[in-house]
Structure formats: C-alpha cells, structure tokens
Amino acid sequence: MDIPRAPAKRGRKQILYGAIALVAVVAMTLGLRGLKPAAPEVDRASVWIDSVQQGPLVIEVRGPGTLVPERVRYISAVTAGRVERRLAEPGQEVTPETVLLELSNPDVQLEALEAERQLTASQADRVNLKADLESGRLNQEAAVAAARSAYLDAKRTAEASEGLAAKELISSMEASRARDRVEEMETRYKVEEQRLAVITGAADSQISLQAAQVGRLRDVTNFQRGRIRSMVVKAGASGILQELPLEVGQWAQSGATLARLVEPGKLKAVLRIPETQAKDVTLGQPATIDTRNGLVNGKVMRIDPAVQNGTVTVDVSLQGELPRGARPDLSVDGTIQVERLEDVLHVGRPAYGQANSAVGLFKLVGDGTEAVRTNVRLGRTSVNTVEILGGLQVGEKVIISDMSRWDGYERVSVE
C-alpha cells in the first residue's frame, strides 16, 4: 500500500538563490560605477609632441617688417616750373651729374635778366662815383695848395713889413695889417686841409657802400642764375632712383618733391614688435633678419617711444653683405635676442598660455599611448620655446598643440 510522503520545503533554496543573485547584481553595479570612462582617442599625427629639455634658453621676440633705406635723398624743386623733359626712370642707377628732369619757367628767366641789369647799373654807378670823388679830391688838393701859397706869401710880406716898420719906412698900421693877413691865410690853409681830409674819408666810405651794393646785387644775380640752373634737375649723389612722380607737361610748385634717391647697400630693417613683447627690447641687442632669400645679422639701433596699432617700431641696422634681391620695401621677418638663460627647463611653446602663468598640458605616461592633464607653471617665453618653472621633469613628453577640444577630459589615448 502506498505510504504518503511529506512535501519538500522549497522556499529556503529559492531565498538563497535570490540572495546570491542580488549580491551579484550589486557587485556588478558597484564595479561598473568604479570604472573610469573610456578616454577619447587622439591621432598622434595630428598633435605636436615635444620633450622637456634642460640647458641654455635664448629669449627672443619676433615681428614682421620691411627693409628701408638708411640714407634717403629727396630732390625738391628750387623754383616752380613745367616739366619739359624726363630723362630718367625709377630703378635706374644714377651719378651726381645724371640729369633727371628739365623744367622751364619764363618768369624766372625774366627775373634773372632784371637782376643782371641792376648789377650792371650798380657797377656803372660805382665807376662814376669813384671818378666824381677822385675829381673832387683833386680839386680840393688844388685849393689846399693855393691856400698854402697865399699863406706863405702873406707870411713873407708880414716879415718884410716888420723890417720896414722897424726902420720907420712904413707905418705900424700897415705892419699890423700884414700880420692880420698872415693869420687869415693860415686859418684858410688849415680849413682847406681839413676839408681835404673830410673829402678823402667820405670818398672811401661812399666807395665802400657802393661796393657793398654791387656785392648784394651780384649775390642776387648769382641766386637767379642758380634758379635757372636748378631747372636742370640733377641727382646730386650716387644711388638708385626710387621715385620720379612727375611726367612731361606737369607743373611743379617750388619745394615740391621731384625725385627720391636711395643709396644702394645701405638698408635697415624696420620691425613691428607686439607691445607685450617690446618691453624687454633694448638698444644694441643682436637680431636676425629673414629676407626669405637668406639671413642677415644686425643689431637694434632705435626703438620708437610710441605704440601704434598695438606694435612698437624697432629699427635694426644690418651688418655684412645683403642677400641677392634685398631692396627697399621688401617684406622681412625679424628675430631679436632679448636674453640668454643658462641651465633651465624648457619645452616648445604651447599653443596657449602666457608667460609667468599656469596652464594644463597633456603629459604622455606609460608607453606613450596615454596622456594625462598636468598643471604646468610657465616662466619666460621665447618665439618657439618657453621656460618651465614646475610641473614637468627633464625628458618628459607633452602635447604642445591645441587640445581645446578635450578640455573636459583629464586623460586621452594617443594612437
């Protein structure tokens, strides 16, 4: 006969299995929460990686500029005139006697003729004045001689009268009249001598004044002749003719620029340095100018005290022979050596970050397939390098290209 069995108690096992499953789910959840998010991948070929080095660091500043002649000669119009002939062209090599332009102005020629006429008339007046004065002096010398003769004759007559009066051959009145006659003739003689001295002195002064007038008119004439000669415009110096703006038939005003002449081989570089970098530039600092056809060494010779459009103008004198093709107004790039630091940590200048500031850079770790963000303190900056004050060690590699796309990540994968 069948014996009834008690039903098995299943609830305890089910509870145990459920607890185990719950614990597993919680463990998996906690494990997944503890995992870091997947790092974004960065193409190694698209970033710039540089190694931290230790050694000397040259602090440089760079700016664009142009080549400018050191010596520029502007040729201006001495007198107004119309261009009749144009005998040279820009770019031509000229000598001091090279004729550039020929001008014409009838008024200048008339003024020169009038000055010549006045000079000739003044010279004739001087000759006539000299003849008149010489004639007057001779007449006065004759008057002096006549007065002297009369004085001596009166003196002899008075002496004779004194002898006759002493013998009582004539009256004392006649003898007294003879003595008065001597005094009169003596006075007249002295007056005529004084008059001769005055005439002689005045003649010299009048001749000197007339000679001065002739000299002034001669200077005026020479000036007018110079104005006529200036209408044949010459270079006046050796060099390269850079500018000749007037054409045949144009009218040039007095003082207008007729030509611009530069001395070949005497060029300087005028650089435009950003105002934030120009504070360390001083006179005498070495510089290198890139003409895109060669490099030229130089040194800072002038710093503009004013800032224009955010830049400071710096003049660099060039040393040595210039590369072929160097000419005025050629665009160049200049690098000025500001300072040399000995035995410092440095790395290529990152795409962002200013001097003496802190910046986050991605540093390669492990085998170089991963980069983590590291706070780096920057020091003084150069054109392509920057001083490292903290956060990196010698030999470590960092990404210095723009990583702004990954600002929200602390690490990236470099593939």
Q: Please compute the mean of the pLDDT values over residues 324-337 and round it to a whole number.
A: 87
Higher pLDDT, 305 or 14: 305
Cβ partners under 8 Å of residue 3, min gap 6: none
Closest to 261 in 3D by CA, of 77, 65, 76, 66: 76
Per-residue pLDDT band at 193 (split at 50, 70, 90):
confident
Task: Quote the pLDDT of residue 36.
Answer: 54
pLDDT at 32 over 50: no
Task: Quote the pLDDT of residue 276.
Answer: 83
Cβ partners under 8 Å of residue 209, min gap 6: none
pLDDT per residue over 332-351, tens digit each?
A: 999 999 888 888 898 988 88
Tell me which range, 33-42, 164-173, 209-218, is most confidently predicted by mean pLDDT. Answer: 209-218
Per-residue pLDDT band at 35 (split at 50, 70, 90):
very low
Q: For residue 340, what is the enclosing H or E element?
A: strand 331-348
Task: Quote the pLDDT of residue 1.
Answer: 46
Question: Out of 97-101, 253-257, 406-410, which region has the weakest mean confidence (pLDDT)?
Answer: 406-410
pLDDT per residue over 271-281, tens digit each?
A: 999 988 888 89
pLDDT per residue over 116-133, tens digit each?
A: 999 999 999 888 888 888
Task: Quote the pLDDT of residue 37.
Answer: 59
pLDDT at 162 over 80: no
Q: Please compute the mean of the pLDDT values over residues 234-262 and round it to a whole number.
A: 90
Calculate helix-pair angle for 172-230, 106-166, nearest 10 degrees.
170
Beta bridge partners of 53: 346
Q: Please compute the mean of the pLDDT values over residues 152-163 and round it to a whole number.
A: 76
Q: What's the one-letter identity of residue 341? A: L
Q: Please compute the mean of the pLDDT values over residues 65-73 and round it to a whole number.
A: 88
Per-residue pLDDT band at 31 (split at 50, 70, 90):
low
Integer angstrom CA distances of residue 314 from 52, 275, 283, 335: 32, 11, 9, 11
Beta bridge partners of 307: 312
Q: What's the one-letter identity of residue 222? A: N
pLDDT at 68 over 60: yes
pTM metric for this prediction? 0.57
Integer angstrom CA distances of residue 182 from 70, 188, 189: 87, 10, 10
What are 202's two structure tokens? 């005045």
CA distance 349 to 336: 17
